Structure 1
Amino acid sequence: MELTIENMTCGGCAKSVTKAIQSVDPNARIETNPAARSVKVETTASTAALQQVLEEAGYPASAT
């Protein structure tokens, strides 16, 4: 799945996003791109679960 995260603007943000996603699925494959403000995730977790944990971390995400 691919998510757009408007306020992920740097490597530090990308680390926080990665950590939040891994809290839901520790085995997720995550590819962040702060320049494009997007993240690609291979996971067994639902989009809603990822969006919720990212919202809680301060990085609201929308599915693309």
Structure 2
Amino acid sequence: MELRIENMTCGGCAKSVTKAIQSVDPNAGIETNPAARTVKVETTATSAALQKVLKDAGYPATTR
């Protein structure tokens, strides 16, 4: 799945996003792109679970 995260603007943000996703699914495949403000995730977690953990971390996301 691909998520759009408007306030992921740098590498530090990308690390925080990665850490948040891994808290839900430690084995997730994660590819962040701060320049495009997107993250591609291969996971067994639901979109809702990822969106909740990202919102809680301060990085609200929308699915693309």
The bucket for the TM-score relative to the shorter chain is over 0.9
Once the two structures are superposed, what CA deviation does each residue of 1:26-49 show, in whole Å capped at 9, x if it has no partner? 000000000000000000000000
Could you tell me which residue of structure 2 aligns to residue 62 of structure 1?
Answer: 62
How is 1:1-64 mapped onto 2 (pairs within 5 angstroms)? 1-64=1-64
Q: Which runs of 5+ in 1 are unaligned?
A: none
How much is the aligned-residue C-alpha RMSD, in angstroms?
0.1
- Normalising to structure 1: TM-score of the pair? 1.00
**Which secondary structure does the structure 2 equivalent of 1:17 belong to?**
helix
Aligned pairs, number: 64
TM-score, scaled to structure 2: 1.00
Q: Any gaps of 5 or more consecutive residues in structure 2?
A: none
Q: Following TM superposition, where does structure 1 have runs of at least 4 consecutive aligned residues deviating by more than 3 angstroms?
A: none
